[in-house]
Amino acid sequence: MPAPLVSTNDFVVKFANVNGSGSASANQLFGRIVLRMGIPATPRNIFPSNIQGLPTWYEVRISEDGWLGSRGGVDLMVPMNPQTWDQDMASIAPGGYVLYDSTKPMPEANFRADVTRLGLPLTSMCNAAYADPRQRQLFKNIMYVGALSALIDMDVAEAEKLIGEQFRGKEKLIKPNVDAFRMGREAAQQAFDCPIGLRLRRSDKVGDRIMVDGNGAAALGAVFGGATVCAWYPITPSSSVAEAFTSHCRRYRGEPETGKRRYAIVQAEDELASIGMVIGAAWNGARAFTSTSGPGISLMQEFIGLAYFAEIPAVIVDVQRGGPSTGMPTRTQQCDILSAAYASHGDTKHVLLLPEDPKECFDFGALAFDLADRLQTPIFLMLDLDIGMNERLCAPFQWDDSRRLDRGKVMRFEDLEAGRKFGRYLDIDGDGIPYRTLPGTHPSKGSFFTRGTTKDAYARYTEEGPAYIENMERLLRKFATARSLVPAPEIRSAEQPTRIGAIHYGSTSAAMAEALDMLRRKGAHVDTLRLRGFPFPAEVEAFIARYDRVFVVEQNRDAQMRSLLTIELGIDPARLIPVLHYDGSPITARFIADAIGREAAIVPFRKAVS
């Protein structure tokens, strides 16, 4: 029988609740206390797509070493939902702990011999202390946080301070919540030998990092990137992008003297209407974007093709979720890679930006608008639910106040007046990017007919084959130009020379970093490349060429990024080994390490799947 786990500042706590039970604020309080103690922690909210009644989980990864990805496994479970008891118990690591409500006796078969039981009669405690049924439920949540404070030696002063901050403006609620916290703490101290083997110790490893979600960071990046128009239709998990942009605009986009709003935010009737509004605003010279998820991308296809072929800037924030169809609206995946890269019918190719954390969501959120204007094309900012809706520690945002918006090739009144040659789709510089004019630039020069049909270099309608081919080839030249404009990949070399490489991108990066450390400690060394943009810069092909085997780690069933690499770079698919995780939960470090460790040791290679 394994001994109870012993660990300081390195374990996973998971709460199992019923959606709508009021547990969210209590669970978030727990995570914030850990952070206030200077210990890096990563919370993840796992919730259903209905409003109330189904199971919900809240996981807090505590890691003084700074690992921010999902590790896999649970060390301390707090199961407050009888419906998921068996599932929750099964997820506990051998030697782990379970803090549960012991008000009603439970059969011995419900427990595991290798898990330490920590039972407190929380329901009966609440029934004795509170008469109101709603108060009983809400304060029960605070009680188990109080119990945890004793069990793992949390800083009580920080906890009570945070309760005060959480209910600022509602002072009547502060004392009852502090009392409930203390009640749970005292009950645990009386019932158990506290602290248990898992414990917290104040640290300074959080440093100057900030805690923020990717959706809010991308919205702030859009503000700094000059966006003034947002048209959107609500869809999980992207709605909070538009909501955050609204909040930021109210703060930064108004005129204090007149009260005028220098922005437009429209909740459209559907996704097709929203991208249409974005294209119209961008055609008029505004910086505009929409936020959506996979089903929205499907509905926007026709207008995305129009923006590509008419060469109108647009930014699309795609917060990916489980598909296809409605799929899993509140689960994470990276399953829109191909549908975004080749969105719309016909021959199209689109620029993708692939941020790894909220810091890059902010940076790329601003960069997307410069790229859209410079390339005169839609730009996709590819988030997913894990990076978008969950808060994560990241470096503080930075902005250079001397930075100016890059509007790309725009002919001004003075240029036209001076007689500069203008053809809306004329490639003067050889980079595939033509010059454009904005409406109203000149009363008689620089006008053109915007169309989604075939045209020549001067925007005149034609169905002549040579003119069509020239236009399509020019679009390819423009896409090739984009290779040098998207963020360069991040290459990490192992401590020792190796013939094994791995490619990853997006939110996978946090788990990947820890997986590499696990492999290193077992004597396996892997060089890695993190993709940050598409089209692929030259470094990507060079990286693949250096290795006998290259793993491509991603969160979808069909190895979409691997497919994109083989299509765009002409790579032999047999050289790219897929590591695929797609059950809707964030990919874990243990999954990646096990998959690469297993596959690197055998031939032929087998696909690692979730």
* Averaged pLDDT of the chain: 94
Are the beta carbons of 115 and 89 closer than 8 angstroms?
yes
Predicted local distance difference test score (pLDDT) of residue 548: 87
Predicted local distance difference test score (pLDDT) of residue 1: 75
- Going by pLDDT thresholds of 50, 70 and 90, the confidence category of residue 273 is very high
Share of the chain above pLDDT 70, in %: 98
Domain range annotation of the chain: 7-199, 212-394, 490-599
Predicted local distance difference test score (pLDDT) of residue 180: 94
The whole-number average pLDDT for the span 320-330 is 95
Predicted local distance difference test score (pLDDT) of residue 126: 93
The answer on pLDDT for 129 being more than 70 is: yes
Are the beta carbons of 491 and 543 closer than 8 angstroms?
yes
Model confidence pLDDT, tens digit, residues 526-549: 999 999 999 999 999 999 999 989
Q: What is the rounded distance in angstroms from the CA atom of residue 334 to the CA atom of residue 592?
A: 16
Model confidence pLDDT, tens digit, residues 397-417: 999 999 999 999 999 999 999
Model-wide pTM > 0.75 = yes
Q: Which CATH class is domain 7-199?
A: alpha beta
The whole-number average pLDDT for the span 253-282 is 94
Residues 6+ apart with CB under 8 A from 458: 423, 424, 425, 426, 448
- Asked if 7-199 and 490-599 have one fold, the answer is no
Are the beta carbons of 606 and 577 closer than 8 angstroms?
no
Residues 6+ apart with CB under 8 A from 238: 215, 232, 291, 292, 293, 296, 317, 318, 319, 383, 388
DSSP-derived secondary structure for 253-301: SB-TTT--B--EEEE-SSHHHHHHHHHHHHHTT--EEEEE-HHHHHHTH
User: Using alpha carbons only, what angle is made at residue 587 by residues 151 and 73, rounded to the nearest 5 degrees?
Assistant: 30
Predicted local distance difference test score (pLDDT) of residue 608: 46
- Going by pLDDT thresholds of 50, 70 and 90, the confidence category of residue 136 is confident
* Alpha-helical regions (H) of 451-559: 465-482, 508-521, 538-545
Are the beta carbons of 30 and 148 closer than 8 angstroms?
yes
For CA atoms 318, 320, 324, 327, the dihedral sign is negative
The answer on pLDDT for 52 being more than 70 is: no
Residues 6+ apart with CB under 8 A from 429: 409
Question: Kind of pairing, strands 198-199 and 7-8?
Answer: parallel
Q: What is the rounded distance in angstroms from the CA atom of residue 173 to the CA atom of residue 29?
A: 15
The answer on pLDDT for 496 being more than 50 is: yes
Q: What is the rounded distance in angstroms from the CA atom of residue 430 to the CA atom of residue 426?
A: 9
Token pair listed for 430: 């050889």
Predicted local distance difference test score (pLDDT) of residue 532: 98
The whole-number average pLDDT for the span 380-402 is 97
Share of the chain above pLDDT 90, in %: 89
* 239-252 helix and 214-224 helix, angle to the nearest 10 degrees: 40
Q: 6-15, 17-26, 98-107, 498-507: which range is least confident on average?
A: 17-26
- Going by pLDDT thresholds of 50, 70 and 90, the confidence category of residue 605 is very low
Token pair listed for 279: 């294209």
* 214-224 helix and 358-375 helix, angle to the nearest 10 degrees: 40
* Alpha-helical regions (H) of 380-464: 385-389, 413-417
Model confidence pLDDT, tens digit, residues 212-247: 999 999 999 999 999 999 999 999 999 999 999 999
For CA atoms 299, 303, 305, 311, the dihedral sign is negative
The CATH number that domain 490-599 falls under is 3.40.50.920
* Alpha-helical regions (H) of 394-464: 413-417
DSSP-derived secondary structure for 149-191: HHHTT--HHHHHHHHHHHTTT-GGGHHHHHHHHHHHHHHHHHH
The answer on pLDDT for 610 being more than 80 is: no
Q: What is the 3-state secondary structure (H, E, C) of 536-555?
A: CCHHHHHHHHCCCEEEEEEC
Predicted local distance difference test score (pLDDT) of residue 603: 34
Q: Look up the CATH superfamily of 212-394.
A: Thiamin diphosphate (ThDP)-binding fold, Pyr/PP domains (3.40.50.970)
Model confidence pLDDT, tens digit, residues 435-449: 999 999 999 999 998
